[in-house]
Amino acid sequence: MHKLYTAADLPDAYIVLNLLTQAHIEVRVFNENAQGGLGEIPFTHAYPEVWLLDEADMERANKVIENYESSEVEGDVYCTGCHEENPANFQYCWNCGELINERP
């Protein structure tokens, strides 16, 4: 296993985990509950981490993460499936899971 990504918080770690899982890359999140140990352990050891299981997927995984980190877009988009409003950087609707392909 190889540490692939250090997240700012748990939701960020799970966004990366889900993007990688959708790309058929097997990963795990570690330090999910480490923030409860703040004060006892250094804060840098409490950040959630995403670990890659198969080193052969490293290049593809890094590309997925690069795309995620560069896709910070402001505004909102609407799902073509259920017409629910979503933040512009969402790839899938939070409400129905439909791929969001309509941009304002």
Band (pLDDT 50/70/90 cuts) for residue 16 is very high
Domain boundaries, the chain: 2-71, 73-104
Specify the pTM: 0.62
pLDDT digit string (tens) for 43-75?
666 789 999 999 999 999 999 999 888 866 677
The CATH code of domain 2-71 reads 3.30.70
Residues 28, 30, 32, 37, Cα dihedral to 10°:
180
List, in sequence order, the alpha helices (H) in the chain: 10-22, 58-70
Q: Are 84 and 78 in contact (CB under 8 A)?
A: yes
